Every structure is written in structure tokens, then in C-alpha cells.
Structure 1
Amino acid sequence: MNRFLSNATNRIDSKGRVSVPAPFRAVLAQRDIQELYCIQDFVFPAITVGGPDLLERYERQIGQEDPFSPLANEMSLLVHGGGVFMKLDAEGRLMVTDFIRDFTGITSEVAFVGRSDHFQLWQPQAFHEAQAAAREERRLRGLRSN
């Protein structure tokens, strides 16, 4: 499978590292992603993580706009000003930096959440609350998760 699916919560070690779940590491290896593009999500208090192709997708969207337009500038502010490149260490761990902690509220645990072609880093309780709210919203609209 070459998609990021499901979710898992892992503890941050005393050096500020967290192990990326094995299924997520397998997808990274299968897609030959060596460098992770990490961006502050546009909607949720989460860090979106993908390969360089994720950044390229956002940059294609920016490139379709007039480079001097407010929209292009806002998009660049979010995509470039709210993004960093990171790498896993040799044991498959990611450093939980201030960039991640300050935006998400993560302290001692990280929820890894699959989002098909990328995954996200969440504070576990915030993830569970957002997922429950999304489920409730679908229920109220009469949609089922079949």
C-alpha cells in the first residue's frame, strides 16, 4: 500500500524525538521520500507532512496566480513561511521541534494521522476531538461512513 492510512499515537522521548509508525515509514520508503516537507495546516492545529511533491503541488497552485496578487502572496506566506524541511534519523524518528510544538500544542505524545498522500502530526486529544466533530457533522447532514 502506498498511502498513509489510519492513526497511531507515540510518546516523545527525553531527547525530543518521536518514532514515526512503521506503516508510515514503509510508505515513505516505497515512495523514496528522503526529505520531509512539513507545513502548518491551513485549517487544523496540525503539521502536514509529505515529500517534496507536496510542496511542488502548492507551488503549482501559487504559480497559476498573478505573482503580485494578494492571493498569491497569502498562499506563499502560508506555504513557504509556514513550512520547513525535516529528515528522519537512522532509527525512523522525527525531532519534535518548536515549529511543531508551538503550532499544535503537542507536549509528550504525537498522534500520526494518515491523509492518503501525506500524514499529519496532531496533539492526540485535539485529533480525537476534530475526528469526533467531523463524524458528528456528517451524521447531522445525514451522511454515513459506509
Structure 2
Amino acid sequence: MGVADRFLSNATNKIDAKGRVSVPSVFRSVLARNGTQELYAYQDFIFPAISMAGAEILERFERQIATLDPFSEEANRMSLLVHGGGIFMKLDAEGRLQIPDFVRDFTGIADRVTFAGRGDHFQLWEPAAFEEMQARARRERMRPA
């Protein structure tokens, strides 16, 4: 993965009256370079955020599930998170995403969305939740050992 193929930084954009939000151009550039047409959007496993990436991340999760006993509790939990907590989404011709209830209900997003780069994927956050989580991560990282 080259430097230009990573999702970096963050930006906050308004949701329009039709429920659409513009994806930051730097993120759209990464998607275009990677040839990503459809985005797999899933409820993050730790944060109150929606994680988004190309279908390859879903395939990675499914390979991991395939290594487990299909009747095990672990395999079923993982499938519930990956399959039951995910949808496919597409950008429109202007580079916007429709923000469905699936996203709003999980994140608390109302009228603005913070896009946060996470290297091989990006996330959709409610802006205040993102600011608080980033500040908390910074405080915890800076604690003396």
C-alpha cells in the first residue's frame, strides 16, 4: 500500500436537505486510485462509527470467519457483526453518500459527518463523538509510562 493509497486526516461536512454528504476529495482520490466502485459500510467493532472500505475488507473478514468452526459461537458472532452490521453503498456522480438510518442510528449523526482516515479504510462519525474520542486517545497516548 503506497502513501497515496491510504485514507489520512479528517474533515467534517454538512448533510444536505436530501440526506447526502460530500465525501472529502482526498478520500475520493484514494477510492479512484484503488478502483473502488462500491463501499462496504459496517458498524465499527469498537467505536460508535461506521467504517467504510472496498469489498476487499469484507472478503478479508469472510476469510477469517472461514477459518472457524461454522457452528461455533465465535463464527456466528463474527458473521452477525460482519454480515448483519454491514451494507453496500455507492457514491453518486458528485461524490456524495446518502446517509441512511443504518448510519444515523448507530452513530448519532444528525446534520454533519466527520470523515476520519484510518489507513486502509475511513470512518463516519458524529463530529462531537469524534473530537472526544480523538482527544481521549491523545491523552491516553501521552500519559507517562
Distance 2:84 2:128 in 1: 27
Is 2:90 the counterpart of 1:87?
A: yes
Distance 1:141 1:57 in 2: 36
Distance 1:139 1:26 in 2: 32
Q: Which residue, 78, 95, 100 being the options, matches 1:97?
A: 100
Instruction: Give the number of equivalent residue pairs.
Output: 142
Shift, 1:141, TM fit:
4.8
Q: Could you tell me which residue of structure 2 aligns to residue 112 of structure 1?
A: 115
Amino-acid identity (%)? 66
Distance 2:48 2:56 in 1: 22
Distance 2:102 2:138 in 1: 29
SS at match of 1:8: strand
Give TM-score scaled by structure 1 length: 0.96
Q: Which amino acid aligns with 1:21?
A: P
Q: Which residue, 124, 128, 131 being the options, matches 1:128?
A: 131
Is 2:55 the counterpart of 1:52?
A: yes
Q: Could you tell me which residue of structure 2 aligns to residue 68 of structure 1?
A: 71
Give the alignment's Cα RMSD to 1 decimal: 0.7
Unaligned runs of 5+ in 2: none
Distance 2:64 2:144 in 1: 31
Shift, 1:139, TM fit:
1.4
SS at match of 1:112: strand
